[in-house]
Amino acid sequence: MKALLDELKAIVGTRGWTDDETDLEPYLNEWRGVYKGRTPLRVAPASTEEVAAIVRACHAAGVAVVPQGGNTGMCGGAVPDGSGTQILLSMHRMRRIRSVDAQNFSMTVEAGCILADIQEAARAAGRYFPLSLGAEGTCQIGGNLATDAGGLNVLRYGTARSLTMGLEVVLANGTVLNSLRALRKDTAGYDLKQLFIGSEGTLGIITAACLRLFPDPGKLQTAMVAVATAGESVGLLARLKEQLADRVETFELVSDYVFGLVEKHIPDARLPFDRRWPWYVLIEAAGSIDELGAALAKAMEDGPVLDAVIAKNTSESAALWRLRHSIAEAERKDGKALKHDISVPVSAMPAFLEQGDELLETLCPDARLVAFGHVGDGNLHYNVVLPRDRDASAREEEGKRITGAIYDLVTQFGGSISAEHGIGQLKREWLSRYGSDPELEVMRKLKKTLDPAGILNPGKVI
């Protein structure tokens, strides 16, 4: 091991590594505090060639490599295991915007670029990069692609996958696979980049990406509306789409209990209504305030909308967005929840929620449902907090039972047990239970083909 560590240090130079325990601490802990790992060395390469050399050396030594972006992931995918033998490969020094092609509506960026910096670089070129999530000031595009991140604008623009034109990837033996083509059409053989998107660092290290850009959508209007049931929000979305077509960018459902957590834990966070309602939807749409206002007024007249607030300026809009962006932090501060990042067809969401309520009532009437998320994409964070009066082992057993029952229900509705956060360590066992045999078999074969020695992020996904 010592010879390998010396070789890796030499590859990245003095500014590119650390083995100091205090410096390593934040990178070895998953931000929710659920997973903690150990490593003999954190290396931060500054170029694709350095990534390739690191992976080649680790491959020759049979030592595992764990890629890490902003470490904002939800499933423990970016944290090494407890063995103290896995090399942590941090991408933060690879943060160059290689080029922006405004005419082609594309840009090529290194994997360590922070998402917010990419949005800004697109804006500076008069273009729009729509991927947006609460962690955008910290997460990296490599991590976004490795998890196929979703976030707040999927409704109009799709997940990270649909925003990707090409990738540069370092394979498990150190070969650089360059499919960094800025093409909208390319049927020359298999579309290899798709294999790496969403593979959570288990099939290759993403070093650069060519991303799709869009025209500036112009002024976006933000509104918060109140509805009586989560099911009604689905009908509301269909109405808004009929009136505003694809200009609806965001449609986020949040329960009153969840916004109560935000108000409890986040300083100065306040809902803009003078009374409580059961559910709220945060809506963002391109166009004029009058257009969104008219659509919502009609929905109020007809029933589904009980109350509505439209932001009159950017600071009112920012205050509404702050409520939404604070949920993950408020939930973390409130204590550990069983996280279920699930998706079902949008049309099935009302029935899923109804049956989910009944299920929780039967399994654990004292449990609290923490439900929020991207209902417009059929994706909810259907999290559950167990009563605090159980001891640790009873909680663990009960947690597994509840998670299993929720995933059974999701499966009955033709849904997914992981909509946008990935599998990581958290859901590996669940994937092997809920994935179909032929699908799991193909996944295992892919892993074996692309990483026969099993050095890329072992213990994650499959």
- Sites of contact with ligand FAD (CB under 6 A): 31, 66-74, 77-78, 91, 111, 133-135, 139-140, 142-144, 146-147, 149-151, 200-201, 205-206, 328, 420-421, 424, 457, 460
Work out whether strand 97-101 and strand 87-90 pair parallel, antiparallel, or are unpaired: unpaired
Distance in Å, CB of 328 to ligand MLT, minimum: 4
Select the binding partner of residue 73 from ligand MLT, ligand FAD, none (C-beta < 5 to 8 A, by kind).
Answer: ligand FAD
Work out whether strand 87-90 and strand 65-68 pair parallel, antiparallel, or are unpaired: parallel
Whichever of 247 and 381 has its CB closer to ligand MLT, that residue is: 381
Select the binding partner of residue 381 from ligand FAD, ligand MLT, none (C-beta < 5 to 8 A, by kind).
Answer: ligand MLT
Distance in Å, CB of 413 to ligand FAD, minimum: 21
Residue 117: burial class (beta carbons within 10 Å; 0-12, 13-18, 19+): middle
Whichever of 282 and 306 has its CB closer to ligand MLT, that residue is: 282
Distance in Å, CB of 327 to ligand FAD, minimum: 8
Regarding 327 and contact with ligand MLT (CB under 6 A), the answer is: yes
Distance in Å, CB of 457 to ligand FAD, minimum: 5
CA–CA distance, 403 with 417 (Å, rounded to integer): 10
> What is the token pair recorded at 439?
């699908």
Regarding 381 and contact with ligand MLT (CB under 6 A), the answer is: yes
Closest CA to 349 of 384, 328, 307, 377: 377
Work out whether strand 164-170 and strand 106-110 pair parallel, antiparallel, or are unpaired: unpaired
Distance in Å, CB of 227 to ligand FAD, minimum: 21
Whichever of 90 and 233 has its CB closer to ligand FAD, that residue is: 90
Contact assessment for residue 56 and residue 174, using Cβ atoms and an 8 Å cutoff? yes
Regarding 165 and contact with ligand MLT (CB under 6 A), the answer is: no
CA–CA distance, 17 with 34 (Å, rounded to integer): 25
Distance in Å, CB of 139 to ligand MLT, minimum: 11
What amino acid occupies position 39? Answer: T
Select the binding partner of residue 350 from ligand FAD, ligand MLT, none (C-beta < 5 to 8 A, by kind).
Answer: none
Whichever of 86 and 233 has its CB closer to ligand FAD, that residue is: 86
Select the binding partner of residue 340 from ligand MLT, ligand FAD, none (C-beta < 5 to 8 A, by kind).
Answer: none
CA–CA distance, 358 with 412 (Å, rounded to integer): 15
Select the binding partner of residue 72 from ligand FAD, ligand MLT, none (C-beta < 5 to 8 A, by kind).
Answer: ligand FAD
**Residue 445 CB neighbours (<10 A):** 10
Q: Which residues contact 428 (CB under 8 A, 6 or more apart)?
A: 459, 460, 461, 462
Q: In which order are the strands placed within the sheet that holds 220-227? A: 307-310, 220-227, 279-286, 248-255, 368-374, 379-385, 341-343
Q: Which residues contact 5 (CB under 8 A, 6 or more apart)?
A: 19, 40, 41
Positions in 344-373 near ligand MLT (CB under 6 A)? 373
Select the binding partner of residue 78 from ligand MLT, ligand FAD, none (C-beta < 5 to 8 A, by kind).
Answer: ligand FAD
Select the binding partner of residue 295 from ligand MLT, ligand FAD, none (C-beta < 5 to 8 A, by kind).
Answer: none
Interface stretch with ligand MLT, choices 271-279, 324-332, 347-355, 451-459 (CB under 6 A): 324-332
Site string for ligand MLT, 122-161 (x = CB under 6 A): ------------x---------------------------
Q: Is 135 helix (H, G, I), strand (E, B) or coil?
A: coil
Distance in Å, CB of 327 to ligand MLT, minimum: 5
- Give the number of residues in contact with ligand MLT, rule: CB under 6 A: 6
Interface stretch with ligand MLT, choices 62-70, 109-117, 325-333, 440-448 (CB under 6 A): 325-333
Q: Which residues contact 131 (CB under 8 A, 6 or more apart)?
A: 115, 118, 119, 144, 149, 151, 153, 157, 160, 163
Give the residue at shortest CB distance from ligand FAD.
143
Distance in Å, CB of 4 to ligand FAD, minimum: 20
Distance in Å, CB of 332 to ligand MLT, minimum: 8
Regarding 269 and contact with ligand MLT (CB under 6 A), the answer is: no
Distance in Å, CB of 373 to ligand MLT, minimum: 5
Whichever of 32 and 127 has its CB closer to ligand FAD, that residue is: 32
Query: How is residue 417 annotated by DSSP?
Result: S
Instruction: Categorise residue 347: left if φ over 0, alpha if ψ from -120 to 50, beta otherwise.
Output: alpha
> What is the token pair recorded at 173?
């033996």
CA–CA distance, 379 with 376 (Å, rounded to integer): 7
CA–CA distance, 173 with 60 (Å, rounded to integer): 8
**Cα first-last separation, the chain:** 26
Q: What kind and span of H or E run contains 58?
A: helix 48-61
Interface stretch with ligand MLT, choices 222-230, 286-294, 304-312, 326-334 (CB under 6 A): 326-334
Q: What residues line the site for ligand MLT (CB under 6 A)?
A: 134, 327-328, 331, 373, 381
